[in-house]
Chain A
């Protein structure tokens, strides 16, 4: 691989960084108040020199790198600065990482979602590091009066061999700060990486294990009050009236009032999803007092009429029909069955009808999955202080850039007067993309004219909506007399979201292919959930392919490879959204690492693979079923996500995906009775616990020099089918409906 020149529009990138000024970045950061252990070990520099938006270099050589993206467990706060430090040739032990505030002037794409942070940040972060390094080299060349080409950098030092000059970065940082930003920088050849590809510890662990305030819910400010909301008990209902006269007299209560989070005529953008906009706010001095007063508010609700919700989806205006009525599990299912009969074609290759007519064997199976709740361990919360026309907010959220717009619109305060601090997220999984609670917090603060921290109880959180949609897919496969797959038919949809990715595998591998989709409107709000849509697609498709392989008398792993080879040799149709070689790569790797075909006695094994978020993942799961109880022995994951920045952290993420996938497949479910979400807390919404986790998890990465692709999500979708397929091997029963625990004890 050649050294590469950055093709980024660096001028604007670096220029915009230079405009804001370093002091500003520091003043935003409340987390800087609780210093990490590294800061205690190193003497803080007397003076900070700002190199660019991501980096400050102190006169003592200490380098501070701002991690621009919110951290929610993906370890981005460690891996993003590692990328900068790599190109900067910094000494990692002298690097301090700080969380940047929301700063749309300086940073691009400050959000969690779509496993894209490293992929999108890769070139800008490297360019930032390389630019800082070049500036330092130029400063050294100037100071020592030698050619810049003769300066070498290593581990935070500059040196010029022939004149025997050596200096640490801090010594030349002030001079470097006066130099113009270079037009072009050379990025390293990946084979020269020293830091990327080595495992570095999560920079926040010392704070996490000692209970330091890191999370939004820990945020505290002088004069701050605690706020909670009361939302309607059912989807399809709205607030009619309330009486808080008794509750207001309870100890510690400041005020109780009605709030409106989003105005009815507001054109909602992509992440402004929320059903309950008319709420009761309870504000008081302490959480316990507010919780008690909440119970004493007398409330009356009425049925909500159907309406059209106005939408502005990234410039595309439209509306969404929100039906009235109180939905129950059965009524929803009935509507889904009806809708599946009126599906629209999303992809068609060849002549599926004829293929099915001449098939010697047709396999048809239907898969379903219920609503899921994200269940972040840190309940939704946000701090807000609306002080006249200035807004200061702090807390955990995934899409600060987008939420800032909605907040500005709601408060009528310009974006430049809104400051959002990003705290560590106690889980996100998609839920914290929909930051209606931030807007609620700000509206409540505006009303009481005081800083407040809004906290949801677990029940508020679990019944507020923004669930993973309810899905159903029916697959039909046509095998000819040679057991070749000649036809494939997908009919899938959801309430309210259609889960299909019509151009993904096995599209491209089957001559005659038909994809039909449908949607059912619902007033239950839904949104992104770790690996949106893929989490169900993979589960259904990979379970079905297992069954098709069996019907064709083929090994399930080899069957997948055979199809992928077909797609590579002669791709059918257009826009096939995957690379067969990389797909085969993870299957070959997992085959090799699991000694596929040579499993131990008494162990049942299943395989699954999927492509999403630009990465490929495959799993082999080994389990035993003893006395009707499932015990998972081992899960082997193979991933191709390109270059792996921080391998041990990447493994941790994949291990989490495996455990999360098993837990969700087995237990995850939200259900409804007359619009009321039935599961309100962890007593009935079962979560996976330690004893149900696999005894062993191994993760392997395909080694290549492809620029990094996503990792937060790709290892999650295939887990479901790896479990279903290994359970089939153990029990002889196929599982078609989630949660699996309804059919097997776990």
Chain B
């Protein structure tokens, strides 16, 4: 066990955990931020996507020891009132079905639009390739990303 000082959603947090603990479980079990979801544990499904200094990463593969000194952002931290253009687009297109993967989808979409504000269909396909939606809301996700791209 060791003490780690983290910056999560702009707040300083301290946790005392095994250095190999993935950020996914630090967020969920120790910091009560359960918006980041467990899906596969091997970086195949994207449900656990968070931002490390603005870039999308799979938190199930990010040990807490590598998360010090960087800015971690989770779904709870991308906007104050759930009104990030991507979140608003998700509402407009009524995207979710079961909703479980959607936090990860949104985190990937926000990172994409930050780097590439006007993505092509192919850009969207590539950026979202790591996120599985079992209910099959892909066409709505893509439409929502296009709507959001006009408002970021």
* A interface with B by C-beta (< 8 Å): 37, 72-75, 199, 201-202, 204-206, 208-215, 217-218, 220, 226, 251, 286-289, 292, 375-379, 424-429, 455, 457-458, 648-649, 652-653, 655-660, 663, 681-683, 687-691, 693-697
Other 6 A-B pairs with CB < 8 A, given A377-B45, A687-B134, A697-B139: A377-B101, A377-B134, A378-B37, A424-B99, A649-B94, A655-B137
**Contact: A690 with B135, CB < 8 Å?**
no
Interchain Cβ contacts under 8 Å between A and B, 23 examples = A73-B97, A75-B97, A201-B94, A206-B91, A209-B75, A209-B87, A210-B87, A212-B35, A220-B32, A220-B34, A226-B29, A286-B29, A377-B98, A379-B39, A424-B98, A427-B135, A655-B136, A656-B136, A682-B42, A682-B45, A689-B131, A690-B141, A696-B139
B21, B74, B103, B135: most-surrounded residue (chain A CB, <10 A): B135
Among the listed A209, A425, A652, A682, which residue makes an inter-chain contact with B106, where contact means beta carbons less than 8 Å apart?
A: A209
Contacts of A213 in B (CB 8 A): 34
Q: Which residue of B lies closest to A646 (CB)?
A: B94
Decide if B40 is an interface residue (CB 8 Å cutoff).
yes
Does A656 lie within 8 Å of B96, measured CB to CB?
A: no
B41 at interface, CB cutoff 8 A: yes
With an 8 Å Cβ cutoff, the count of chain B residues facing the other chain is: 61
Q: Specify which chain B residues have a CB less than 8 angstroms from the CB of A660 in the assembled complex.
A: 134-136
Chain A nearest Cβ from B135, distance in angstroms: 5
Chain A residues positioned under 8 Å from B133 (CB to CB): 377, 690
Residues of B within 8 A of A695 (CB): 121, 139
Q: Please report the number of residue pairs spanning A and B whose Cβ atoms sit closer than 8 angstroms.
A: 191
Contact A288 B94 (CB under 8 A): no
Question: Which B-chain residue is minimally distant from A226 (CB atoms)?
Answer: B29
Contacting pair A690 B30 (CB below 8 A) = no
Known: A201-B94, A205-B91, A378-B37. A73 touches B82 (CB 8 A): no
Could you say which residues of chain A place their CB within 8 Å of the CB of B134? 375-377, 427, 429, 660, 687
How far is B102's CA from A288's CA once the two chains are assembled, in angstroms? 23
Q: Is the CB of A210 within 8 A of B75?
A: yes
User: When chains A and B are docked, how far (Å) is the Cα of A688 from the Cα of B98?
Assistant: 16
Closest Cβ neighbor of B88 among chain A residues: A209
Closest to A653 in B: B97
Q: Which residues of A contact B132 (CB under 8 A)?
A: 377, 682, 687, 689
A377: B residues at CB distance < 8 A? 37, 39, 45, 47, 98, 100-101, 132-134
Contacts of B126 in A (CB 8 A): 691
Least Cβ distance of A48 to chain B in Å? 27
Task: Check: B28 CB closer than 8 A to any chain A CB.
Answer: yes
A695 to B121 alpha-carbon distance, docked (Å): 9
The digit string for B110-152, where 1 denotes a CB below 8 A from any CB of A, is 0000000000010011101101111111111110000000000
User: B33 interface residue, CB < 8 Å from A?
Assistant: yes
In the bound assembly, the distance between CA atoms of A208 and B74 in angstroms comes to 13
Q: What is the CB-to-nearest-CB distance from A285 to chain B, in angstroms, rounded to a whole number? A: 8
Chain A residues, Cβ within 8 Å of B141: 690
The contact string, 1 if C-beta is below 8 Å from chain A, for chain B 15-40, is 00110111001001110111111111
Q: Do A693 and B74 touch (CB < 8 A)? A: no
How far is A687 from B44 in the complex, measured between Cα atoms in Å? 10
A204 to B103, CA, bound (A): 13
Known: A377-B134, A652-B140. A286 touches B25 (CB 8 A): yes
Query: Residue of A at shortest CB range from B89?
Result: A209
Indicate if the CB atoms of B94 and A202 lie closer than 8 Å. Answer: yes
Q: State A175–B128 Cα separation when bound (angstroms).
A: 55
Q: Which residues of B contact A212 (CB under 8 A)?
A: 35
What residues on A are CB-neighbors of B30 within 8 Å?
286
CB <8 Å contact, B90 and A205: yes
Select B33's contact among A199, A204, A211, A681, beta carbons within 8 Å.
A211
- CB < 8 Å: which of B32, B47, B91, B136 contacts A688? B136
CA–CA, A226 and B34, complex, Å = 15
* Closest CB in chain B relative to A158 CB, distance in Å: 32
B124 to chain A, nearest CB (A): 7
Does B125 contact A208, Cβ atoms closer than 8 Å?
A: no
User: Would you give the shortest CB distance from A335 to chain B, in whole angstroms?
Assistant: 31
Nearest CB on B from A296, distance (A): 14
User: Which residues of A sit under 8 angstroms from B94, Cβ to Cβ?
Assistant: 199, 201-202, 205, 648-649, 652
The 9 closest A-B pairs by CB, nearest first: A211-B35, A659-B136, A426-B100, A73-B98, A73-B97, A211-B75, A682-B44, A656-B136, A208-B99
